[in-house]
Amino acid sequence: MKVLWALPVMVVLVLVLLPVNDGLYELLVNYDPQGDGQHWERRYYQEVMRRTSGMLAGHLLAFGVGVTLAGTERTERTELLAVAAGTVLGTVALVTAR
């Protein structure tokens, strides 16, 4: 299939962006957590950043897959394939980030 290249690319994007997202909140906002409240906040936002790792890159990758599919032919089958590819890319990103 023409879109299978996107699956390993999505996994690599998420794995590359995980360390960036893990440290982003601590670097910019809560750079010296002290006390229970700030440690809880750091853990909470680290988890949020981890779960959303690669979201923008995933949107751009899904756009690229859609452009690739639209460039081939415009049929009902191609549109269903584009929806399925977007769903699979989202699932891959979610499973990889966990």
The token pair at 89 is 């890319």
Q: Quick one: which of 62, 61, 47, 58 has its CA closest to 98?
A: 47
- Say how far apart CA 72 and CA 60 lie, in whole Å: 19
| Average pLDDT score over the chain | 77
How many helices (H) and strands (E) would you count in the chain?
A: 4, 0
- Say how far apart CA 21 and CA 47 lie, in whole Å: 9
Tell whether pTM > 0.75.
Answer: no
Q: Where are the domains of the chain?
A: 6-97
35-73 per-position pLDDT tens digit = 898 888 888 887 777 777 666 677 778 777 777 777 776
Share of the chain above pLDDT 90, in %: 0
